[in-house]
Amino acid sequence: MKIVMLGAPGAGKGTQAKMIVEKYQIPQISTGDIFRANIKNGTELGKKAKTYMDQGALVPDELVVDLVVDRLAKDDCANGYVLDGFPRTIPQAEALTAALAAQGDKLDYAIDVEVPDENIVNRMSGRRACVNCGGTYHIVYNPTKVEGICDACGGKLILRDDDKPETVQHRLTVYHEQTQPLIDYYNGQGILKEVDGTQDMADVFADIVKVLG
C-alpha cells in the first residue's frame, strides 16, 4: 500500500503516519531524512542537493523527485510506504506521478486528515514546551500538574514562536495556497480519502484503517 499523507500543519498527519508505519510495517518516507542520508553517504544526488542547500536555495523539484523515487526503489519499500510532507505542490505531485508511471507504478491512497483552521490554531496555540528538557504539553489536552511547570523536570513552560496564533495562521495560509490544491489533484486521480481529524487520535486512526482495509 503506497500512501501519501495530506493535511494542514498541526492536523496530526505525522502522528497518524507513524501509527500506519507501526501497524503495517512499512517505512515512513520524509524528504528531510532522504536528504540527510544521501548527503551523509556522499551519493551523486546527495552532492547535487547539498550544493543548493549550502547556498540556502531550495532544492529543485526534479531533484527532490529523483531522490524520492530512488528511495522508493529500496527493498524496505517493497510492500509499500507512507509519504509524509511530500509532495507539497502540484508540480511535485505531477513529477512524482510521472516518475512512478515510468516504472509501471502508482500511489494507492492519498489520505487527507481534515481539520478546520480554527481548530488547528486553538490546538497549536495551547501547546507549551519546557525550556529545560523540551517536554511538550497542552493546556487543554495534556496539562501539567502545576500550571506553567514541567512535570518531568520542574522547568518553566513557554509558548514557542512556531505555536503562536499569528505564526500558525501564516503557515495555514501558505498551506492553503500551495498544498491544498493537492487534495483536488488526488481527488481527480480517484485515490483521495478524507478522514475527520477533529476526533481523538485513536478514532482518526480507526477511520484510516477502515480506508486501508
156 tagged catalytic: no
Q: What is the DSSP letter of 133?
A: T
13 tagged catalytic: yes
Q: Find the domain containing 94 and state its range.
A: 2-26+79-124+163-212
Catalytic residue among 71, 127, 128, 193: 127
127 tagged catalytic: yes
Identify whether 111 is part of a domain.
yes
Domain count, the chain: 1
CATH of the domain at 191: 3.40.50.300
pLDDT-derived band at 85 (thresholds 50, 70, 90) equals confident
Identify whether 99 is part of a domain.
yes
Identify whether 42 is part of a domain.
no
123 tagged catalytic: no
- The Cα 183–Cα 113 span in angstroms is 11
All cell numbers assigned to 170: 501564516
Q: What is the pLDDT of residues 127-184, one digit of tens each?
A: 999 999 999 999 998 999 999 999 999 999 999 998 999 999 999 998 899 889 999 9
